[in-house]
Amino acid sequence: MKDKPFAITLDVGSSLANKTGSWRVERPVYVDRLSPCNHACPAGEDIQGWLYRAEEGDYEGAWSVLVETNPFPAVMGRACFRPCEAACNRSGVDEAVGINAIERFLGDQAIDQGWEVPVPGPATGHRVLVVGSGPAGLSAAYHLCRLGHEVEIHEAAPMPGGMLRYGIPAYRLPRRVVDAEIERITAMGVTLVTGSPITDASSVMAGDGFDAAFVAVGAQRGRDAEIPAGDAARVVDAVLLLHGLEEGRRPGLGRRVVVYGGGDTAMDVARTAERLGATDTVVVYRRTRDRMPAHDEEVDDALAEGVRMRWLSTVARAEGGRLVLEHMDLDDEGLPRPTGELEELEADSLVLALGQDADLSLLDDLSGVRTSGGTVEVDPDQMTGCSGVFAGGDVTGGERTITGAVGEGRRAAASIDAFMDGRAPTRPLDRPLAAADRLNLWYFEDAPRMLRPRLEAARRRTNFDEVVGGLGADEALFEARRCMSCGNCFECDNCFGVCPDNAVIKLGPGKRYRFDLDYCKGCGICVQECPCGAIDLIPEPR
Amino acid sequence: MTAEPRSRVRFYQVGSFAVGNRLVGSDQRNAQSDPGRANSLTSGHRACEGCGEALGARYVLDAAMRATGGRLVAVNATGCLEVFSTPYPETSWRVAWMHSLFGNAPAVASGVAAALRVKGRSDVRVVGQAGDGGAVDIGLGCLSGLFERNDDVLFVCYDNQAYMNTGVQRSGATPPGARTATTEAVGPAPGNGFGQGKDMALIAMAHEIPYVATATVGDLFDLETKVERAMSMQGARYLHVLVPCPLGWAAAPRDTIRLARLAQQTGIFPVIEAEGGGVTGVSKIRHRVPVEEYLRLQGRYAHLFDAGGAVAAPEVVAGLQAIADRNIERYGLLGDEPDKEES
């Protein structure tokens, strides 16, 4: 007793002996939720994953994560319509993260620095025929190649790229970017045969010993409107116009050009007409702006470049030098109705941009393939009714965007891989969404987004120079760091810091945290204060 | 030892208010993000779920331990903090710690400081700590003496606005309108009355001591910066930390930090610092909110609202809002962030 301090009869002990975890009725658990950007991405990118790397300035690492799913970062960073940004929770704080601008920065860096995609896996001996070298076909070929399969792409046109080259004007998507990203795929060992239209898929498959085929021929045939046209009227198809321009044929459109249609192609062709010297370009659309299928940004750019819009109008007749328009109004269901009111409009040419259909004749001899409304029907694994024949991209309808096509190509590649192995394709697990109301937005300071430079409208009219510029490294880093990491831990130490019971154990960089359930009382402060909503409070298991 | 107040870590360079930041060096993160932090108050203590005082004490002492290189003596008044941390023979303290009576902790801290001076141990620093009962009420005489003699002690009051340990009785720091065991929500003026209580930070400032500051557990960066600043100075220093109490405030344990944040954002609890009796800095309000938002989360104000959630006692709510407005006016709490840097 003598060696004990005054008035102490028991040894001094630590409160660590007192396991306060026994008080708990609820416990915190770390969760990984699906971020809204990843959820919205038609290509299935792990956007949050590559932003996480980019935040550290590890651009090559970020790019590597990106090309795990999408081989076209530089193309996407220009031509994607950015559903990720529309879904971004940051818009509730200030503005959405400029994901697309960062993607372009990474894609351009990769081209400039010559970053390489991972080498393909060991050869499997399987051969796959891909018909069409648009975004869907190339994406499928890329993923099949990485899985070790031998891929042969047949392209009808003299140059690869499909709509990347023949559909999207160069001022939106410079051809050097398209070429660079396609070259990266052929450099992996994918065989690309251009100028080789496949007219009969079944005989090619049997003759050349392919184990499976992916049909991604796109939708190349412009729809006709059956407009009564006089002999002198100049009526041009938008798809053919854009395609011909790419092969060096400048269409004589004249000074007064009318574009009929309200989709992205209509905007593309109207903006192209301006660049070809038209002084008065008018888009005629039968409904109103809010019902236009074209993306807002495209419409805004067209308007900025001087294109005029005629809403609620149809083209009734085309004659030499003039058009007759009919006014429409909308019925209760928003469908356009003719009013009988006619009006004349001077026009040197009329460009039809009324939508596109696929040419499906190559599938005629394949048994079981079903088509409807000009598109091929596929199951959720992208397989047609004919075993071993898959399809994707515009040929199957869907949303008809480049990003969607890339995603379908990737999904098809996974399905084809499983098919050739005799497995059922694996589907990604459904994770619950990281909704904005789960975040603690207090922790994020306002930080307005970095804007990409844009070519002044007046300087766009005489050339096909790229309209939208890229971000510099500093701006891209700034922008990447605006990501709030919705639903997934980004190691901010908040849970570790705010626990009154020191019941959060920090495991070190990249390893996140662990709850010490011996002491966690289940107060839930960490749940409430987690900036990104990556902790759930669940009833204590009995 | 740095006397410069650390700026808020530029997390994601444009700012986050989270505890850590994987993108900056460890020297720029705060003490609480360090896996090797002192954990001055370790696990196994018997504080209620979500205790703001346990959190506040660890924040303050860990920062003080970092600032002094671990050469620190803590003197603790009787109160929740002492009771839940040291049930005989266990202790949660990982710092030299001494318990005194309810009312004399400031005097004991003065004595420890004097003894260290006599022994020539200028390297060892003293922190006194008490709840609002120990500091604002019972120990006020001793505390005033400490200030007046300018003894070399940082005295910290963890203010949870009532005597929580003994069953939530009203203290001199209990705000108007709040229900406690001794100010029940009955009669024409339910809860604690207006015009009572005392503002301890202003009382300390009136002594013109070297440093006085208020802080909350809702802003760790601010709190740690103030502890570091205090530890860089000699003489009597006072830190008043608002620590929400889930039990006494009848609030959800998970809302402890949220309530501290709301107290600052409403202006009801002004976060300031003062040197030599004059205010030298205030924490500006980022997103101003009406006091109602703060009150609604707390059962001790439940009588101000009816079952449907409508305001049942508008004059009390207005009175509390007037206090917040006066604070905002008095200290200039609105406007640009004080540490707005070019990013």
Whether A111 maps to a domain, the answer reads yes
Q: At what angle do helices A473-480 and A59-67 cross, to 10 degrees?
A: 60
Cα(A277)–Cα(A353) distance, integer angstroms = 19
Q: Which of B16, B85, B254 is nearest residue A531 as measured by Cβ atoms?
A: B16
pLDDT over 90, % of chain A: 70
- What average pLDDT does this structure show over A84-93? 92
Residue A264 sits in which domain range? 232-356
- What average pLDDT does this structure show over A273-277? 92
Whether A168 maps to a domain, the answer reads yes
pLDDT tier for residue B7 given thresholds of 50, 70 and 90: very low
- Interior angle at CA B262, CA B239 and CA B40, nearest 5: 40
> pLDDT at residue A325 above 70?
yes
Cα(A526)–Cα(B238) distance, integer angstroms = 29
Say what the pLDDT of residue A226 is: 81
Q: What's the Cα-to-Cα distance from A467 to each of A170, A281, A291, A375, B164, rounded to whole Å?
A: 9, 19, 26, 33, 66
Please tell me whether residues A294 and A260 are part of one structural domain: yes
Cα(A442)–Cα(A438) distance, integer angstroms = 12
- What average pLDDT does this structure show over B180-197? 90
Q: Is the CB of A529 inside 8 Å of chain B's CB atoms?
A: yes
Which ipTM did the prediction report?
0.92
Which residues of chain A does B42 touch, with a Cβ-Cβ cutoff of 8 Å? 14-16, 502
Whether A4 maps to a domain, the answer reads no
Which residues of chain B does A491 touch, with a Cβ-Cβ cutoff of 8 Å? 20, 22
pLDDT tier for residue A312 given thresholds of 50, 70 and 90: very high
Please tell me whether residues A247 and A318 are part of one structural domain: yes
- Comparing CA positions, the residue from B280, B237, B264, B218 lying closest to residue B67 is B237
pLDDT tier for residue A7 given thresholds of 50, 70 and 90: low
Cα(A442)–Cα(A518) distance, integer angstroms = 30
Please tell me whether residues A273 and A340 are part of one structural domain: yes
Q: How do beta strands B278-282 and B272-275 pair?
A: antiparallel
Q: What is the DSSP secondary structure assignment for residue A20, as one 8-state letter?
A: G
- What average pLDDT does this structure show over B83-108? 95
Give the chain A residue whose CA is nearest to the CA of B52.
A500
Q: How many CA atoms does the CB half-sphere of A518 hold within 13 Å?
A: 12
Whether B238 maps to a domain, the answer reads yes
Say what the pLDDT of residue A359 is: 86
pLDDT tier for residue A18 given thresholds of 50, 70 and 90: very high
A490 with B22: Cβ contact below 8 A: yes
Cα(B63)–Cα(B228) distance, integer angstroms = 7
Q: What's the Cα-to-Cα distance from A227 to each of A24, A316, A429, rounded to whole Å?
A: 75, 6, 50
Say what the pLDDT of residue B342 is: 34
Indicate the burial class of A195 (C-beta count within 10 angstroms; 0-12, 13-18, 19 or more).
exposed
pLDDT tier for residue B17 given thresholds of 50, 70 and 90: confident
Q: Is the CB of B18 inside 8 Å of chain A's CB atoms?
A: yes
> pLDDT at residue B29 above 90?
no
Query: Nearest C-alpha of chain A: how many angstroms from B267?
Result: 17
Please tell me whether residues A184 and A100 are part of one structural domain: no
Residue whose pair of structure tokens reads 């005033």 in the numeric block: B144
Question: Which residues on neighbouring strands pair with residue B242, listed in sequence order?
Answer: B159, B216
A500 with B256: Cβ contact below 8 A: yes
Whether A212 maps to a domain, the answer reads yes
State pLDDT tens for residues A370-394.
988 888 999 999 999 999 999 999 9
Q: Is the CB of B252 inside 8 Å of chain A's CB atoms?
A: yes
- What average pLDDT does this structure show over A96-120? 94
Q: Is the CB of A498 inside 8 Å of chain B's CB atoms?
A: yes
Whether B44 maps to a domain, the answer reads yes
**Domain total in chain A:** 4
- What average pLDDT does this structure show over A58-66? 96
> pLDDT at residue B6 above 60?
no
Sign, CA torsion B150/B154/B155/B161? positive
pLDDT over 70, % of chain A: 98
Q: Which of A500, A528, A537 is nearest residue B51 as measured by Cβ atoms?
A: A500
Say what the pLDDT of residue A6 is: 67
Mean predicted lDDT score pLDDT of chain A: 92
Chain A (216-245) residues lying within 8 Å, Cβ to Cβ, of chain B: none
End-to-end CA distance of chain A: 44
The answer to whether A386 and A366 are in contact (CB under 8 A) is yes
Whether B141 maps to a domain, the answer reads yes
The structure tokens listed for B120 are 């020539």
A508 with B246: Cβ contact below 8 A: no
Please tell me whether residues A352 and A363 are part of one structural domain: no
Q: What's the Cα-to-Cα distance from A492 to each of A507, B37, B99, B339, rounded to whole Å?
A: 13, 16, 36, 21
**Domain total in chain B:** 1
Q: At what angle do helices B52-68 and B256-266 cross, to 10 degrees?
A: 80
- What average pLDDT does this structure show over B78-92? 94
Q: How do beta strands A375-376 and A371-372 pair?
A: antiparallel
The domain that holds A179 is classified in CATH as: 3.50.50.60
Which residues of chain B does A449 touch, with a Cβ-Cβ cutoff of 8 Å? none
User: Is the backbone of residue A382 left (phi > 0), alpha (psi -120 to 50) or beta?
Assistant: left
Check whether the bond before A120 is cis (ω within 30° of 0). no
Whether A5 maps to a domain, the answer reads no
Say what the pLDDT of residue A447 is: 72
Say what the pLDDT of residue B16 is: 57
pLDDT over 70, % of chain B: 93
State pLDDT tens for residues A507-521.
998 899 999 999 999
Cα(A504)–Cα(A15) distance, integer angstroms = 17
Q: Which of A481, A509, A524 is nearest residue B13 as measured by Cβ atoms?
A: A481
Residue B75 sits in which domain range? 19-331
Whether A112 maps to a domain, the answer reads yes
Q: Is the CB of B111 inside 8 Å of chain A's CB atoms?
A: no
Say what the pLDDT of residue B20 is: 78
Give the chain B residue whose CA is nearest to the CA of A531.
B18
Please tell me whether residues A190 and A257 are part of one structural domain: no
Count of Cβ atoms closer than 10 Å to residue B176 Cβ: 17
- Comparing CA positions, the residue from A537, A530, A519 lying closest to residue A496 is A530
**Rg from Cα positions in chain B:** 19
> pLDDT at residue B336 above 60?
no
Q: How many residues does chain A have?
A: 542
Give the chain A residue whose CA is nearest to the CA of B21.
A492
Please tell me whether residues A349 and A239 are part of one structural domain: yes
Please tell me whether residues A215 and A68 are part of one structural domain: no
Task: Quickly list DSSP for A31-71.
Answer: ---B-HHHHH-TT---HHHHHHHHHTT-HHHHHHHHHTT-S
Interface-testing mutation among B10, B16, B158, B219, with chain A (most A C-beta atoms within 10 A): B16
Interface-testing mutation among B29, B37, B254, B262, with chain A (most A C-beta atoms within 10 A): B254
Whether B151 maps to a domain, the answer reads yes
State pLDDT tens for residues A428-484.
778 899 999 999 988 887 777 778 888 888 788 778 889 888 988 888 888 898 899
The structure tokens listed for B146 are 């400490």
Please tell me whether residues A46 and A28 are part of one structural domain: no
Number of cross-chain residue pairs from A and B with Cβ atoms under 8 Å apart: 159
State pLDDT tens for residues A164-215.
999 999 999 999 999 999 999 999 999 999 999 998 888 888 888 899 999 9
Lowest-confidence region among A234-238, A260-264, A331-335, B295-299: A331-335
- What average pLDDT does this structure show over B245-271? 97
Q: How do beta strands A191-193 and A212-215 pair?
A: unpaired
Mean predicted lDDT score pLDDT of chain B: 91
User: Is the backbone of residue B334 left (phi > 0), alpha (psi -120 to 50) or beta?
Assistant: beta
Q: Which of A322, A356, A390 is the last residue of a domain?
A: A356
User: Higher model confidence: residue A226 or residue B129?
Assistant: B129
> pLDDT at residue B4 above 50?
no
A500 with B42: Cβ contact below 8 A: no
Sign, CA torsion B246/B252/B253/B254? negative
Whether B7 maps to a domain, the answer reads no
pLDDT tier for residue B189 given thresholds of 50, 70 and 90: confident
The domain that holds A505 is classified in CATH as: 3.30.70.20
Cα(A158)–Cα(B341) distance, integer angstroms = 56
> pLDDT at residue A132 above 50?
yes
Percent helix, strand and coil across chain A, each to the nearest 5: 35, 20, 50
Q: Which of B14, B21, B90 is nearest residue A13 as measured by Cβ atoms?
A: B90
Please tell me whether residues A254 and A327 are part of one structural domain: yes
Cα(B259)–Cα(A40) distance, integer angstroms = 35
Which parts of A457-534 are beta strand (E)?
Answer: 504-506, 513-515
Sign, CA torsion A461/A463/A468/A471? negative
* Residue A526, C-beta contacts closer than 8 angstroms, at least 6 positions apart: A28, A494, A495, A498, A499, A504, A535
The answer to whether B132 and B159 are in contact (CB under 8 A) is yes
Whether A341 maps to a domain, the answer reads yes
The answer to whether A194 and A157 are in contact (CB under 8 A) is yes
The answer to whether A360 and A391 are in contact (CB under 8 A) is no
- What average pLDDT does this structure show over A401-422? 96
B43 with A524: Cβ contact below 8 A: no
B254 with A508: Cβ contact below 8 A: no
User: Higher model confidence: residue B12 or residue B141?
Assistant: B141
Residue whose pair of structure tokens reads 């994707």 in the numeric block: A392
User: Is the backbone of residue A155 left (phi > 0), alpha (psi -120 to 50) or beta?
Assistant: beta
The structure tokens listed for A66 are 């990106």
Q: Which of A335, A356, A377 is the last residue of a domain?
A: A356
A16 with B45: Cβ contact below 8 A: no
> pLDDT at residue B78 above 60?
yes
- Comparing CA positions, the residue from B288, B261, B245 lying closest to residue B81 is B245
Say what the pLDDT of residue B337 is: 45
- What average pLDDT does this structure show over B308-327? 95
Residue whose pair of structure tokens reads 């860089």 in the numeric block: B232
The domain that holds B114 is classified in CATH as: 3.40.50.970
A14 with B46: Cβ contact below 8 A: no
Whether B337 maps to a domain, the answer reads no
- What average pLDDT does this structure show over A53-66? 94
Whether A430 maps to a domain, the answer reads no
- Comparing CA positions, the residue from A268, A292, A293 lying closest to residue A467 is A268
A493 with B39: Cβ contact below 8 A: no
HEC assignment per residue over B27-80: HHCCHHHCCCCCCCECCCCCCCCCCHHHHHHHHHHHHHHHHHCCCEEEEECCCH
Lowest-confidence region among A148-162, A465-479, A511-525, B216-230: A465-479
Which residues of chain A does B91 touch, with a Cβ-Cβ cutoff of 8 Å? 12-15
> pLDDT at residue B341 above 50?
no
Cα(B310)–Cα(B287) distance, integer angstroms = 23
> pLDDT at residue A348 above 80?
yes
Whether B108 maps to a domain, the answer reads yes
Please tell me whether residues A140 and A200 are part of one structural domain: yes
Q: DSSP H helical segments within chain B, as ranges?
A: 52-68, 80-85, 105-118, 132, 140-149, 200-206, 220-231, 256-266, 291-296, 314-331
Say what the pLDDT of residue A4 is: 64
Q: Is A337 helix (H, G, I), strand (E, B) or coil?
A: strand
> pLDDT at residue A493 above 60?
yes
Say what the pLDDT of residue B301 is: 97
Cα(B132)–Cα(B169) distance, integer angstroms = 12
Give the chain A residue whose CA is nearest to the CA of B94.
A14
